[in-house]
Amino acid sequence: MASTVIGAGITIEGEVTSDEDVIVSGTLRGKLVAKDAVTVEHGGVVEADINAGPVAIAGSVTGNISSNDRVDLQNGAKVVGNVKATRITIADGAQFKGNVDMDV
């Protein structure tokens, strides 16, 4: 169960810091820092750097993604930016432009 949900109609301009899970179905511009999982749902738009635990993306992300766990780019995801994580999956149908850094 997610603790913070940014709904489909909502736009946040600024910095979001959370100790909990964050689900983005709306729009977030600025910066996103979460200790736990971040999910960008289909239709969700993030124009921000993401710094989090496990990250799952099915929406659109413009910005660098840094995770201390894994990053999953799911079908329908559109990501422009660098990804830094120990594990990464890019599903068939995901669009991705950027560098991958897997700490090897």
Partner 1 sequence: MADRDQTLIGSGTFVRGRVTGTGDLEIAGRIEGDVSCSGDVLVDGSGLVGAGISARRIVVRGAVKGDLVAEDAIILEAGARVVGDLKAPRIAIAPGALVRGHVQTGGAGAARPRSAAATASRASSASAAKAAPAAAAPARTEAKKAAPPAARSAPAGNGGKSSTHRSSAGASGASRVGPPPPVVPVLKKGTKAALHHKKR
- How far from 65 is each of 9, 14, 27, 96, 99, CA to CA, in Å? 23, 17, 16, 12, 10
Interaction of residue 5 with partner 1, rule CB under 8 A: yes
Shortest distance, CB of residue 8 to partner 1, whole angstroms?
Answer: 6
What's the min distance (Å) between Cβ of 64 and partner 1? Answer: 19
In angstroms, give the least distance from the CB of 104 to partner 1. Answer: 33
Q: How far is CA 63 from CA 32, 79, 84, 89, 104, in A?
A: 10, 8, 12, 17, 22
Question: Residue 89's closest CA among 63, 58, 61, 62?
Answer: 58
Question: Residues in the chain, how many?
Answer: 104
Kindly indicate which of the ranges 1-9, 72-80, 83-91, 94-102 contains the residues binding partner 1, using the contact rule CB under 8 A.
1-9
Instruction: Provide the mask over 46-85, with x wherever binding to partner 1 is found by CB under 8 A and - wherever it is not.
Output: ----------------------------------------
Q: Could you list the residues that contact partner 1 (CB under 8 A)? A: 2-23, 25-27, 30, 41
